[in-house]
Structure 1
């Protein structure tokens, strides 16, 4: 009896360790990140490196996507634990340069097996299936609506957001399988048409211009009505807009897909938004061409009663946690200014205290200062000792004599 175990992110790794230790497994199905983590669980009693010494077959499915998602380091780590003598199957819908590197690093004496369709010659130029037709169309902003059309065709792939270069080829390869004819259509703005030549040269993926469609029906009023009637539709439109903008902000072909050239107002109208979302890319910008609906969007309810009940509960909990902000908020002064102010107050207080405690009047203090000045002049030789004594004697004679206190008993004797 063959036992299998599933090791993926989101589950408790300790439980996975215990399950593997108690039950074992003949077939391990795992994501790269969790499998790499299991190899490092020796401290938890799992010696997976020893257990896989008898490994016979390794299968890497969707290998191009594994590399595109950033698992190259994890894959190399895992391959380092596995025995060299094994059979390895590497499956991919597309052939990329990164995939070729993995083949050279992880496979010994590789044999390439290409699945060909009957009656269709293999192409050494195009990387996507031979029965797949890749199209592009340019969308134009006209007036208050964006002319975007989506027609459902069997075995077709329609892409509004242009993915990364490697993802583009992979996603196109999702169609035109098992002998079926496939179509892929990507929407581009007028300033993005250079992407067509870029794909043709860089990824060997030629695109044909899709013929323009006439008499396009304006469905935006219906979409807005749906958003007003169901919060689920309202939120989907907002999320789609945010996803589209962030795709531009993070696109690896930023020279072609430039976010600064994006017409946010027209894009928002195309998504039938009732208002613009709060996001970093829109901060500090104004959009006079976008007219926000005169409605409080918080009042839009879910058609699904359970979802609406959960939302109302969440709003009630949020209201209880809110604390009123102080209206008369005064910004703190700079620390250096506060320190200087404190020092000045301290000096004034010290001086006031000295003045209060001192029993020397101002006249005596002035005489003391004059005597000090005379002494300095004497030391510097500016006056003689005779002059010094004369000044002191004259100053002393001009001073008022202290009052005599009568200590008698008051009988006049």
Structure 2
């Protein structure tokens, strides 16, 4: 019996895949759920029973299934899921997959850590598989993530689940130097996992980059991508994508904005919010607490918390990169007894990914900005989430605490609130977040202020980081839109700077200008005294010019720039001082302004019309004669043209003479140099030395004596010698006399 050849095996494989695709299409069409139906409301299918085709005209109902193998998925996808240990579906997967497999647009909202990644990875793989997508077909799906770390996680899940498929996939994120290598291969990739900026860069710079055949567009953490920070970038990307496509949006806090949905060209999307009816908006296994902590005690409270939880994995959130750098560097030198790490957006990509991997594997403390608040899965092992600075809104809080208590694990979180930020606590409770207000044990509070002061004296670099942390925190509070919670004028600046260990309080000029720009009410007097803010200036401490002053100028530019003060193109009037004009602001000329209102007086003090000075004053009637004025104007115009022509001709003549003099000067210098070199060549033969050696030696000058005056008279000096030098013949005669006297 003949063995099947590789060609026959490939033909059999293609034939079996075609049959599988036809079966899947029939199964999906047969069990398609009604639009608007929530599959979670259906009775779950039994784990035991027929899967797929039951008879020639019927299939099993996949809309109510609870396991992945009960879905109309390809064999390759099912094998990848089982090999990755994915068996049971989560609620968001059960609710969204029956609709997304049918090709419908999805708006999926679910709690953090609920398995949203698989809810869009599986439809992407199945859509391309049923379309028989190949390498020659180009880009078939784009998955956009707001952060590089989250994009890396999504790419890892895609590789694990789609390991048996033949699709080519690529990770396109910023912060890497291999852009040219990406440009060479990006046109051959079927699935792109990318950040918005990197994708737009390839759309603009990569030759022949084509997305016209795109099948599926996925936006993970959609609310973050749709906000003002990515607005221009996303609009540019969407303008280059086809309108006919499937779009999947997933986030823990999903948007319902009609404007955003219109930008994405969604077609009758299915809004799936599996936890909308839930009692809480956060995971049920998460224990959430809040504490009222004065601004000058935040750093001490954080130090005390870390010292009390040395055996826990702690994720600490701060507002700005400079705060993260300062706290990390200062605490690292003070050695709390647990490994410390930091993560922020100013770090290089390789270092960020390395720190992320290390924190997943070891028990330590990670200081981070909001770059670590979205989508990241730290191996389900984060014990505590500590929010030292208040989040900007409820959505930001949900994403931060979502780094712990993921899937079926538990976790704890604590939020530090200033006395002026208690309104945020009410907003969190209104958003169905079960957060409890507790009091800190003041007896166990450790003070680290003195240690920080000593450290800053010994380390100027750390002192500089403290100054930057101080100013950037004020900037973050100043930029917040929710003024009910955040008020920079309520902050005790002196006490805050002292708590950071700073010897003096850095000046922040925008506060000066903000106070001077408006009259302060009388009731603000005690507030200013408590915060050590004078009505004339914020801080009255004088010091020498240093890098602190440079810092103040940078902060002032940041605060007064139109980019920082504008929201969707509209500038905030309170943030722009009256004495400063924005660069983008142009002076406008009022076209309706009356003209010809200038008053002209004659020698006797009588008023004249504006053009009367150009008129003929000798006329008898004294009226303005326009024809004569025009004639005189033309005459003056011709005279000016003639003068201008003469001036230009004179200028050209002067330039020509100047160039001629320079050429003559260069010619004379060149001739003198040539004569001198020829004379040196003649001299080289008399001494028997080589020309090269002789030319490098300095010419000797022989001064004449009184007896030689008569012989010298009437003779011309050689070029290159002074007037007192003697001729070459006289030098030879003198040499012969000397030689003869020596022999005698």
Structure 1 residues 176, 147: closer, same or farther in 2, change over 3 A?
A: same
Asked if 1:208 is matched to 2:436, the reply is yes
Question: Deviation digits for residues 315-367 of structure 1, max 9, x if unmatched?
Answer: xxxxxxxxxxxxxxxxxxxxxxxxxxxxxxxxxxxxxxxxxxxxxxxxxxxxx
1:149 corresponds in structure 2 to 301
CA contact (8 A) 2:217 2:245 kept: yes
- Pairing partner for 2:191 from 15, 18, 27: 27
Paired with 2:258 and 2:438, the residues of 1 have a C-alpha distance of 31
Q: How far, CA to CA, are the matches of 2:415 and 2:259 in structure 1?
A: 27
Q: SS of the counterpart of 2:283? A: coil
What is the 5 A alignment of 1:14-413?
15=180, 18-19=183-184, 24-40=188-204, 45-46=207-208, 48=209, 51-68=210-227, 70-84=229-243, 86-97=245-256, 101-102=260-261, 105=264, 107-108=266-267, 110=269, 124-140=278-294, 148-150=300-302, 151-152=305-306, 154=313, 155-165=383-393, 166-201=395-430, 203-215=431-443, 216-281=445-510, 283=512, 285-287=537-539
Change in 2 beyond 3 A, CA 1:68/1:183 = farther
Partner residue in 1 for 2:40: none
SS where residue 55 of structure 1 aligns?
coil
RMSD across aligned positions (CA): 4.0
Contact 1:64 1:96 in 2 (8 A): yes
Distance 2:277 2:463 in 1: 45
Query: Which whole-Å CA distance do the structure 2 matches of 1:98 and 1:133 have between them?
Result: 31
Measured after TM superposition, the shift of residue 76 of structure 1 is: 4.6
Could you tell me the TM-score, scaled by structure 1's length?
A: 0.55
* Contact in 1 for aligned 2:200/2:236 (Cα 8 Å): yes
Kindly tell me: are residues 161 and 103 of structure 1, through their superposed partners in 2, closer, same or farther at Cα, counting changes over 3 Å?
Answer: farther
Aligned partners of 1:96 and 1:87: how far apart in 2?
18
CA 1:141–1:17: 2 relative to 1, 3 Å: closer
Could you say if the C-alpha distance between residues 250 and 70 of structure 1 is closer, same or farther in structure 2, counting changes exceeding 3 Å? Answer: same
Q: Does the 8 Å contact 1:131/1:176 carry over to 2?
A: yes
The change in CA–CA distance for 1:147 and 1:20 in structure 2 (over 3 A counts) is: closer
Q: Could you report, residue by residue, the CA deviation over 1:278-308 in whole angstroms, capped at 9, with x for unpaired residues?
A: 43345563547x9x9x99998xxxxxxxxxx
Gaps of 5+ in 1: 117-121, 299-413
Aligned residue pair count: 281
Gap change, CA 1:170 and 1:212, over 3 Å in 2: same
SS across alignment from 1:71: helix
Q: Deviations over 1:214-233 (max 9, x none)?
A: 21121111122222333443
Distance 1:264 1:164, change over 3 A: same
Preserved contact between residue 146 and residue 269 of structure 1 (Cα < 8 Å): no
CA–CA separation in structure 2 for the residues paired with 1:28 and 1:183:
35
Q: Describe the SS at the equivalent of 2:408.
A: coil
Evaluate the alpha carbon distance shift between residue 135 and residue 243 of structure 1 in structure 2; reply closer, same or farther with a 3 A threshold. Answer: farther
Q: CA deviation at 1:250?
A: 0.5
Query: Residues 103, 60 of structure 1: CA spacing in aligned structure 2 closer, same or farther, 3 A cutoff?
Result: farther
Query: Do the aligned partners of residues 99 and 256 (structure 1) sit closer, same or farther apart at CA in structure 2, a change above 3 Å counting?
Result: same
State whether residues 298 and 416 of structure 2, in contact with CA within 8 Å, keep that contact through their aligned partners in structure 1.
Answer: no
SS in 1 for 2:212: helix
Partner Cα separation in structure 1 for residue 503 and residue 201 of structure 2: 45
Q: C-alpha separation between the residues in 1 aligned to 2:190 and 2:401?
A: 35
Report SS of the residue matched to 1:91: strand
Q: Is the 8 A contact 1:139 1:147 kept in 2?
A: no
Q: Distance in 2 between matches of 1:124 and 1:183?
A: 20
Output the TM-score relative to the length of structure 2. Answer: 0.33
Query: Counterparts of 1:106 and 1:169 in 2: how far apart (Å)?
Result: 28
